Amino acid sequence: MLQTKTGTSNIKLEPLAGKALTASEAEAIRDIVHRHRDKPGALLAILEEVQQKTEGIYLAKEAIWSIASELGESPSRVYSVATFYSNFNLKALGKHIITVCRGTACHTRGSQALLQEALSIMGITDYADDEESVFTSNNGLFTVRSIACFGQCALAPVLSIDGKIFSRMTSQSLSSLIQSISKGKKK
């Protein structure tokens, strides 16, 4: 299900700085656009498929320009749709996704400390406590993001790693999980 963000309507798409898609990337986008273009909800379907087929599961600026060009739309319009829905990522995600619940039940049971622990292990200290923020470690191994509620409040604080739920987490247990994953051990 698509989820919307708020406060993103004023974001402007910066001009491209000399980057270009490879011929095969451009061809893949052309194919996706042509398969969806005359269907209802075409733009969302196109953005979803392009994102899913991109390494790092995101929409590069170059891809947005290419989609706009194929559709005959303005890049700003395509970009504004991509920024409106939280399902779309505008930066490449890490190999492992840590999602920390920031709902009320988890917050009162220490989710803020979990988020800080995850970010500090990755060397990220200058973050804003914003539910829409997404942080990726410099080595591309982890992305940390938050969610409003997993619907498992009785098990708070809750987080997920690559879709697997971990309940009643502590900073220590999160730290050892991250270390295990970093060393290539199974969770």
Q: Which residues bind ligand FES (CB under 6 A)?
A: 101, 103-106, 149-150, 152-153, 156, 158
Question: Considering beta carbons, is residue 61 or 107 the nearer one to ligand FES?
Answer: 107
Task: Give the pairing type, strands 96-101 and 159-161.
Answer: antiparallel
Question: Considering beta carbons, is residue 105 or 113 the nearer one to ligand FES?
Answer: 105
Taking the C-alpha atoms of residue 178 and residue 172, their distance in angstroms, rounded to an integer, is 10
**Which residue in 130, 164, 127 sits closest to 146, CA to CA?**
130
- For residue 114, the minimal CB distance to ligand FES (Å) is 11
- For residue 102, the minimal CB distance to ligand FES (Å) is 8
- For residue 107, the minimal CB distance to ligand FES (Å) is 7
Write out the two tokens for 180.
């295990």
Question: Considering beta carbons, is residue 78 or 101 the nearer one to ligand FES?
Answer: 101
- For residue 33, the minimal CB distance to ligand FES (Å) is 38
Question: Considering beta carbons, is residue 94 or 103 the nearer one to ligand FES?
Answer: 103
Q: Which residues pair with 145 in a beta bridge?
A: 99, 134
CA angle 130, 17, 61 (to 5 degrees): 45
How large is the greatest C-alpha to C-alpha distance in the chain, in angstroms?
Answer: 52
